[in-house]
Structure 1
């Protein structure tokens, strides 16, 4: 390897570390913002939940052809169970960060996380 190759690799490593540091910093700041979970079905807002204000876990049953339960805990939400054919929404797991979402296409239900910055 030539000297300029080593310098180039060093610059790339520094840029990657700066990028990772800024991502980590942004994630640490998310706890200071208001995070909401929005549950929609057939393009209609069913419920909007302040995830920071949840004190006890609770379940929300969605209407529709398929039996679907959404579980809400402090700071996170997920599809707990459904009897739709593919179970993709359940396998998506916990949603915690703004921009996270899960979709149940057969039941036309969406759960997504949004935030309002302080």
Structure 2
């Protein structure tokens, strides 16, 4: 059978494994509870032209593609959405600083096209806030 020294090692190993299992279960329980308590957050791009909010684009749900603002708002600006991020694309301004801002996807990311008076700003919204903005 076990000798005293081997038995102590075995008991120590079993104790450590049990403690780690309990810690893992508690961690998962807290993470699941935290996820359940916090509302779903969407990354939403707010597009403003000349100071007025004209579009809200849910980057979390939106598929990749290009949005042309010219037909609807008479502004020669296109926005590209790729991998849940947005950027100025194919803009007609002279120095294209807005395009150099790159893709925006985090809360408070912002890019401005001064000649076309267009601003894109990303903000986090709860599901309820998003539902209000859609209408």
Tell me which interval the TM-score lies in, with the shorter structure as reference length.
0.5 to 0.7
Q: Deviations over 1:28-70 (max 9, x none)?
A: xxxx621100110011111001111112423222423xx2211
Corresponding residue number in structure 2 for 1:61: 69
Question: Residue 51 of structure 1: which of 41, 46, 59 is its match?
Answer: 59
In the TM superposition, structure 1's runs of 4+ consecutive aligned residues that sit over 3 Å from their partners are none
Structure 2: 5+ residue runs without aligned partners?
1-39, 128-135
Corresponding residue number in structure 2 for 1:35: 43
Instruction: Choose between structure 1 and 2: higher helix proportion.
Output: 2
Corresponding residue number in structure 2 for 1:82: 91
Please state how far the C-alpha of 1:82 moved relative to its aligned partner: 1.1
8 Å contact kept, 1:57–1:74: no
Root mean square deviation, CA, Å: 2.0
8 Å contact kept, 1:70–1:80: yes
8 Å contact kept, 1:36–1:115: yes
* CA gap 1:82/1:58 in 2 versus in 1, 3 angstroms: closer
Instruction: Choose between structure 1 and 2: higher strand proportion.
Output: 1
Residues 1:114 and 2:123 aligned together = yes
Comparing 104-113 and 74-83, the one that deviates more: 74-83
Q: CA–CA distance in 2 between the matches of 1:106 and 1:68?
A: 10
Q: CA–CA distance in 2 between the matches of 1:116 and 1:45?
A: 15
Q: Secondary structure of the residue that 1:93 maps to in structure 2? A: coil
